[in-house]
Structure 1
């Protein structure tokens, strides 16, 4: 088995949990009165805290303020604007929830999500996240390694990819009934099996120590920090192991702009804008922030670059 080494920040570089939890409580109180967050309808988003342990990797940057993390989102099931998910997701019901693991596995199973969470080693992971629109955040996710779940399912020898499928609820997700003709539902995504088994890849069920807010992908979403954000499929209902590369929503919609791999690469631009730098959300006031140089693999090259040895990353983007 490969040995993974993870750079660790010095203790002085890590924001203490008590500090960001205090900030979370202050911002959550303010957010309740904000547009789209009112009427006390975010009860499950900020319900009981999650019991986690520090994960094996922590970014050294300061976490993005909670109000930015929960009010600047891409979640097209709720609308096209960054503010739409917070505004229109209050009616979404993330419980009860089941998650199926099926396909080329020895032990297919349909999990009750809360039972799954209780059975898994839960971790806090502060990850740099990079969006294809050239903006970035640093988010304290709570979840568990996807590899833990896949090992329980026991992939068969001919399983080479992992496909993911999100929920379809047009009665609760206005973006699914808006007549948007660029996307088809359900939202689907995929990883190579080795990518899915990489220790950095997690299924997140919370952030900032609480259950995931609806607008951030409740109740369970994929987090792959060396890839662009559209790979992080939200509100997952089905995980399926397959032999062939599965279709993915944005690649199917516009293959010349959104590749299957979607590795963060400052040397490969989006056809309509540069990816060489990124705007840091929350670094200079509400939704503000300066720009910084984009890092290859979003700074996680030590952990993931070997998976792509010999590949032309301009072609396999």
Structure 2
């Protein structure tokens, strides 16, 4: 079932690139492309002409439109071919290589501190949730940004399905590691499989999202088909792709980038222009598909909805990197 929920942090869906109709799930996943978090140059993404879209639509109430990101959606063409998916290599131009990602059949294991661990197919999971469209800003730790219409469902719905015990304080989510299809798994200094985490409070926040599609189409392989995490107030590496396991745990999980580069990346990774990485500033970000750079905003502009999650915590670099 597909519904459209309008909230005051939404951008108008009319601003999205028009969908290509008539694609079934298998065909769309096999041919689509998209973009996500990355670590590299952005020259290839600047080739296309920017798509300027005003954030105005008479079909949306003033209340629904009071959060205005002040930027257009990323052109779909740019989003399709500027990717980072290290399981397929370190290049940004991996969208073709990622077509080897096996997505059917797909199952997700739900275990840890839950009433009853279980494994569910992606198709069966989708029968239990209500799919909606959300248009979010997505900020890479590398200081580039996209604005994308996602399809999916609130992460809180997944939490409800899992029936976690009261002792569960965190979610640890793990991505696919298929050595036959993913040549990047041979990179020796990465602690495969990719794994990330968030608190139960974060997972139950209304902005936390489980993405299953983009631009009105099924999730492209290079962007994490068939299912991924979308946390718009955090740096993109928190939004892991191609999820195969979600574990509910008591203790804060050590994450992939914490293990790889603890002096650069921490558990929280909330967007904040005040704190640079060791190698670059976070004060500004480049909008993929354009030559524009704009100031970065704390929590990527979502402080109103997520700031309370971190009330009372020390507001230093550890919370934002």
Q: TM-score range by the shorter chain?
A: 0.7 to 0.9
Q: How far did residue 310 of structure 1 move?
A: 1.6
| 8 Å CA contact 1:42, 1:213 repeated in 2 | no
Partners of 1:228 and 1:161 in 2: CA distance = 18
Corresponding pairs, count = 279
User: In structure 2, what is the equivalent of residue 44 of structure 1?
Assistant: 29
User: In structure 2, what is the equivalent of residue 132 of structure 1?
Assistant: 141
* Structure 1: gaps spanning 5 or more residues: 29-40, 48-53
1:316 aligns with 2:319: yes
User: In structure 2, what is the equivalent of residue 16 of structure 1?
Assistant: 14
Q: How far did residue 309 of structure 1 move?
A: 0.8
| 8 Å CA contact 2:84, 2:92 repeated in 1 | yes
Match for residue 258 of structure 2 among 251, 276, 280: 251
User: In structure 2, what is the equivalent of residue 35 of structure 1?
Assistant: none
User: In structure 1, what is the equivalent of residue 299 of structure 2?
Assistant: 297
User: In structure 2, what is the equivalent of residue 152 of structure 1?
Assistant: 161
| 8 Å CA contact 1:264, 1:296 repeated in 2 | yes
Within 5 Å, give how 1:114-263 maps onto structure 2. 114-177=123-186, 180-263=187-270
| 8 Å CA contact 1:46, 1:211 repeated in 2 | no
Q: How far did residue 256 of structure 1 move?
A: 1.1
Match for residue 83 of structure 2 among 73, 79, 92: 73
| 8 Å CA contact 2:135, 2:148 repeated in 1 | yes
1:266 aligns with 2:269: no
Q: TM-score, normalised by structure 2?
A: 0.81
Gap change, CA 1:59 and 1:87, over 3 Å in 2:
farther
RMSD: 2.4
| 8 Å CA contact 1:145, 1:199 repeated in 2 | yes
Q: How far did residue 16 of structure 1 move?
A: 1.6
Q: CA offsets, 1:45-102, max 9 Å, x none?
A: 458xxxxxx9x89865422111111211111001111112x03112221111001111
* Structure 2: gaps spanning 5 or more residues: 1-5, 33-59
Partners of 1:182 and 1:212 in 2: CA distance = 28
Partners of 1:182 and 1:266 in 2: CA distance = 29
Gap change, CA 1:267 and 1:8, over 3 Å in 2:
closer
Q: How far did residue 108 of structure 1 move?
A: 2.3
Gap change, CA 1:43 and 1:306, over 3 Å in 2:
closer
Partners of 2:18 and 2:31 in 1: CA distance = 12
Gap change, CA 1:235 and 1:311, over 3 Å in 2:
same
